[in-house]
Structure 1
Amino acid sequence: MRVIELVASIRSEYGGPAYTVPALASALRRAGVEVELHTLAAPEKIDCGVPVTVHPLIRGIPAFAGYSAGLYGQLQMLSRDSNIIHSHLLWTALNILPEFARRGRNCRHVISPRGTLSRTAMGMKSWRKAASLRLGQWSALEHADLFHATSDMEYEDIRRMGLRQPVAVLPNGIELPQFSEAKRRPACRTLLYFGRYHPIKGIEMLLSAWKKLSLRHPEWRLRLVGPCNAYAEELKKAAEKCRLPRVEFCGELKGARKIEAYREASLFVLPSFSENFGVTVAEALACGTPAVTTTGTPWKQLEEHGCGRCVPAGEEPLTGALDWLMSCGDDELAAMGERGRSWMEEFNWTHIGERMKTIYGWLCCGGDRPDEVRPD
């Protein structure tokens, strides 16, 4: 079986899909699938264990259009010799053209919206999305053979659009780090945010909550980690203007330094208004750190598993949840983190790769429908 995975960018500043799509491709390869990854932008060093092809953007055309010279012809050639083209995200030429390029060929088209169909996401730059739908994105959605949703919330987003094709509900995976010793008691307790600096992430709401929390919990600091951009500078200036104490803005952290940041934190927070998965919650739990997030993410089971809180997106609920957990002792937070780490064993990439391989096989060859696939 030959599969082509398509994603606009695998640069870290692009957010979750820049990590999860290469990780999925790598897991599929370990499962015995012949897989290639095609993208429009990549870092200089690429190490995901699969062949990667970068299709450079055309100068003068806005990057959000996602168009590369000769892209349509290359997709036609790929669809001729491939069983599946799996496109991730929406709204760019890279997500529209595969549907037209594969027509007349025995190549299936799978689409992973990855949060782009949520109500919150659809309301942002709606003019651009409306134009994309008219230019072929709706046709691509209508004619896709299968959708992949990473959560029940995303499944509902797909159905709300009136799309009736089968949907495979399969979460992202997580690499479970191995540690030789338990988490150390920190000298200063840290509330950690890790991710993109973007309005959808709810960071302004978090800073507003911190005004109260910093007074109630002088032994805590707030640490925000992510690739720097113009919005990060706006947030930093706002924090300085409001004289928020013990707030640290960090640049991007990778590898061992990233794991160390999760391990050093006493509590993790993702205050997003909308997430199709929220991989940083999984990463924090995998490192033994409990988490607080919102019902705009698919992490409502945090409380069921005893490893955090999931509350409505709003300053008051967020402040209340953080206040409660920041009042917990170190031992209590550590126990919550360990429960979260045990839960994350269900999300290992090897298992996710095997399940996706089975789903692809069913799509191409038929047979018994996998448990993850939901018909209309």
Structure 2
Amino acid sequence: MDFQDSSVRASAYTYPTVRILFTSIGYKPAWKLGGPVPVLVAIAEELARRGHEVWVAATDSNLTERLEVDTSRWHEMEGVRVRYFPIVDPPYRRIPHPAFRRSNIEYAVPEFRRWLEDAEAGFDVVHSHLGFLYANRHAAAYCRKTGTPYVYQAHGVFDPVRLRHRPFRKWLALTLWEKRACATASTLVALTEYEAQSYRRLGLRNPIEVIPNGVDLPPAVEKGDGPLTCLFLSRLHPLKGVDVLVEAAGIVAREDPTIRFLVAGPDEAGIEGDLRKRAAECGANVQFLGTVAGEKKERLLQDSHLFLLATESEGFSIAILEALAHGCGVLTTPGAHFRELEPAGAGRILAKDPRAFADTILALAADRDRVRAMGRAARNLVEQRYSWDRVVDLYEDLYSRLVSPVEPNREVRR
């Protein structure tokens, strides 16, 4: 392969201070936007704790709403300088037709463009998070103009499965500006080897670093012995396969009505009403909880035994990592691109089929010792490979090499 798996090069050095600008669609508390936001928050805050100077240029989006924040100034948050630039919608968004519903490709953030054109901060590195964002083309242009190293991270959006969703818009964006932004990058960051190949399928020849997502480790908690509880915690979107899980819950209910299914997450695609109707029709024991965060989310993860995600495509699922960290066995599909689950004994990779999920859940309900063993293996997998401290080491190493192409003299961090 022609890309570098950074996990083999994790290092423990003291690095020179780097001035980093991150661009993204959102920043905390925009949790409805999904995985890229907590990923960026964790990376930015840890880099700031390590003494680096970190800026985040985000928008005021929170998926289905706007954040109530002062968009005219920079905010200091846990050592990170953050600004929420206001989104400006094109006039055709007012057309009452699904073809014109919101998508990232059409977001415009002219105040960010104007600020960046006049920026005098002298950044050492600019790192764009998430593909098909307005900020990417302007961040790339800034880096071409100033000679600043540019890092581009798509977060899985170039998976062929995702490119088939609204394909014309994505083809147009790739053709007109997004591929040029990617081609500008000193380094493309992929979450998995599969995502690295997605870059190559677009004809991009840049160096690629494979750096996974990480997760904070909560205190270890023993799961209770009550009814088996299965959790879906993600955006309600057809690509996430929540419809498959509702159907599976209906099959399970006919065999064991005590098994509980919890569905939590923002209704991004407007499908919750149909899912509720289908759950009632098939007698599924499903509870819909809406968006959850904070202590409520923690309790859900602590109280659940299994985590379910029948996904078509993931970059590297933060939801799965959080479930593993909380000792949940994971049942997912090949689209999660999480091959380590089965060898580690932490979960199963299943066909995206209601019967496959139902049969596996029923078998596990009859073998609670196996469920407990999966939970322990899940926690161990995260402790060994996916702590944020380890992952941020990889980013710190990448930025240092981009800023100082000649290997610097380093002191071992003890």
TM-score by length of 2: 0.83
Aligned pairs for 1:145-164 within 5 A: 145-164=186-205
C-alpha distance in structure 2 between counterparts of 1:228 and 1:342, whole Å? 32
Contact 1:66–1:94, Cα closer than 8 Å, also in 2: no
Contact 2:49–2:79, Cα closer than 8 Å, also in 1: no
1:171 aligns with 2:171: no
Contact 1:296–1:312, Cα closer than 8 Å, also in 2: no
C-alpha distance in structure 1 between counterparts of 2:119 and 2:215, whole Å? 29
Does 359-368 or 16-25 show the bigger shift?
359-368
Contact 1:28–1:353, Cα closer than 8 Å, also in 2: yes
Post-superposition Cα deviations, 1:31-70, rounded to whole Å, max 9, x if no partner, equal: 3221111111254489655221011012545553221233
- 2:37 paired residue number: 18
TM-superposed deviation, 1:349:
1.1
Contact 1:223–1:250, Cα closer than 8 Å, also in 2: yes
C-alpha distance in structure 2 between counterparts of 1:268 and 1:260, whole Å? 14
Q: 1:273 aligns with which of 312, 316, 331?
A: 312
Contact 2:251–2:284, Cα closer than 8 Å, also in 1: no
TM-superposed deviation, 1:149:
0.9
Q: 1:339 aligns with which of 377, 387, 391?
A: 377
Contact 2:89–2:108, Cα closer than 8 Å, also in 1: no
TM-score by length of 1: 0.91
TM-superposed deviation, 1:156:
1.6
TM-superposed deviation, 1:80:
6.1
Contact 1:173–1:349, Cα closer than 8 Å, also in 2: yes
- The secondary structure found in structure 1 opposite 2:236 is coil
Post-superposition Cα deviations, 1:308-358, rounded to whole Å, max 9, x if no partner, equal: 1012333444334333333322x3312221121111112111221122011
- The secondary structure found in structure 1 opposite 2:144 is coil
1:95 aligns with 2:95: no
How many residues of Structure 1 are paired with residues of Structure 2 in the alignment? 365
C-alpha distance in structure 2 between counterparts of 1:12 and 1:133, whole Å? 27
- 2:97 paired residue number: none
Structure 1: gaps spanning 5 or more residues: 370-376
Cα gap change, 1:233 to 1:18, in 2 (>3 Å):
farther
C-alpha distance in structure 2 between counterparts of 1:48 and 1:296, whole Å? 35
Question: Quick one: percent identity of the two aligned structures?
Answer: 26
Cα gap change, 1:200 to 1:147, in 2 (>3 Å):
same
- 2:5 paired residue number: none
- The secondary structure found in structure 1 opposite 2:401 is helix
- 2:175 paired residue number: 134
TM-superposed deviation, 1:264:
0.8
Aligned pairs for 1:28-39 within 5 A: 28-39=47-58
For residue 51 of structure 2, what is the amino acid of its counterpart? G
The alignment's C-alpha RMSD in Å is 2.1
Cα gap change, 1:29 to 1:368, in 2 (>3 Å):
same
For residue 290 of structure 1, what is the amino acid of its counterpart? G
Contact 1:8–1:66, Cα closer than 8 Å, also in 2: no
1:54 aligns with 2:47: no
- The secondary structure found in structure 1 opposite 2:229 is strand
Cα gap change, 1:281 to 1:123, in 2 (>3 Å):
same
1:122 aligns with 2:163: yes
C-alpha distance in structure 1 between counterparts of 2:399 and 2:194, whole Å? 22
C-alpha distance in structure 2 between counterparts of 1:160 and 1:60, whole Å? 31
TM-superposed deviation, 1:239:
2.2
1:234 aligns with 2:274: yes
Does 128-137 or 300-309 show the bigger shift?
128-137
Aligned pairs for 1:244-255 within 5 A: 244-255=283-294
TM-superposed deviation, 1:177:
0.4
- 1:5 paired residue number: 22
- 1:306 paired residue number: 345
- The secondary structure found in structure 2 opposite 1:273 is coil
Structure 2: gaps spanning 5 or more residues: 1-17, 62-66, 70-74, 94-101, 409-414
Does 34-43 or 197-206 show the bigger shift?
34-43
- The secondary structure found in structure 1 opposite 2:340 is helix
C-alpha distance in structure 1 between counterparts of 2:392 and 2:109, whole Å? 29
TM-superposed deviation, 1:201:
0.1
Cα gap change, 1:269 to 1:243, in 2 (>3 Å):
same
Contact 2:264–2:288, Cα closer than 8 Å, also in 1: yes
- The secondary structure found in structure 2 opposite 1:102 is helix
